[in-house]
Amino acid sequence: MLEGLLLEPKNTVLHEDLVPPEILYGMGLHPFMAEFLGIVLPMIDPGACVPYIDRAENEGIPPDFCSLPKSTMGLVLEGHLPVPAALVSSNMPCDGGMAQYAILQRSLGAPMFQLDVPYDFYDARAVRYFAGELRRMIAFLEANTPGRMDWDRMREVCEERNRAVEYELELWDLVRARPAPMAAEPIYLAHMVYGIAQAGKARSTEVFRRVAELARENLRRGQGAVADERHRVVLWNPPTMMYLDLFAWAEQAWGVSMVMDMLTFHRHPLIDTRTPETMLEDLARIVMQGPMARHTRGPADNFFRDLFYVVDHFDTDMIWMAGHVGCKNTQALLGMMRERCRKRGIALLIIDYDLMDPRVEPPEGIRAQVDR
């Protein structure tokens, strides 16, 4: 991923985390997810994004803004991202995520295309409209970058993505077993890196194949990923980036198997590769129904329908809601969430913290919330 950004910036497109890279690969361009460093740095050092958050706030970004776009804006304002050939974003997943791209474009001085996702994104009319948006994006990129669409190459990328999806869906079937033969990081980190940032690459397919193979072997031996599985958890909202070891600790301390999470539970249609139009229509569905964005757009049922389906389908007995204080969309739903969980008799833990900023709630504070 860094290869293009560092060695061929004029052939690199900075894209939003909910804009999949397949089209860019099909055009012979190097994709780089704008939010990638803001996501990865806290995994390595919980405080790594603090200087970038502070820089964004010092430039006038409100303190209650989500810390992921603040981190991304801070990185750009500090000059820590090279100038790409172009920027591609959308009106997802939230107001903060969308608004940051005005700062990115102004600071980097690169041309930008912003995809328009319709409010009601589940019907056939929306698919046709958004496939047209993707065609407009391709035309924009051909006008502003060296990239040119090669539909045969695009077909190869989509077929590679389909193979990876088949392995990931097999993994989802395997983790329904008790005890779960795979849990936590191999599920959600694999999806984050290889199912989102690197979709359509042969390396991604190999990672999912290997994870599914390990889960299959554990199931054959009757061995759980957690030695003493006592609780099966679904994590809703993005994972705790500034405390990546949360589930490694919870597995040991409480016998917790986290078997599914909001970002991993993506819509997974296999892309019909017969024609350019069928490929664009299926990619349109994938983009519009991206995780987190589809849950917080439209009626509240979009948020809860998938959640309780996951609870039933994966036989979980507990929901952990990562209550990121900067996420206004999900904070507004917490009261309804408590009420619906009480009616269903489902145990609910709401973790109060900030996605990227450990000053709000440090790891020991998160552990204390779990212990209570």
Examine the pLDDT at 181 and tell me if it is beyond 90: yes
Examine the pLDDT at 2 and tell me if it is beyond 70: no
Whole-prediction pTM: 0.93
The pLDDT assigned to 326 comes to 92
Domain ranges for the chain: 2-147
pLDDT digits (tens, 9 = 90+) for 211-236: 999 999 999 999 999 999 999 999 99
Mean pLDDT value across residues 3-11: 73
The pLDDT assigned to 52 comes to 98
Percent of the chain whose pLDDT exceeds 90: 84
| Residue 321 main-chain phi, psi, to 5 deg | -100, 115
pLDDT digits (tens, 9 = 90+) for 30-62: 999 999 999 999 999 999 999 999 999 999 999
Examine the pLDDT at 88 and tell me if it is beyond 70: yes
Examine the pLDDT at 364 and tell me if it is beyond 80: yes
| Helix 67-77, helix 95-108: angle, nearest 10 | 0
Name the token pair of 206.
């190999």
Mean pLDDT of the chain: 94
The pLDDT assigned to 1 comes to 63
The pLDDT assigned to 266 comes to 84
- Which among 72, 40, 80, 41 is positioned nearest to 56, based on CA atoms? 72
Mean pLDDT value across residues 318-344: 94
Chain mean position to CA 77: 24
CATH 3.40.50.11890 fits 2-147, yes or no: yes
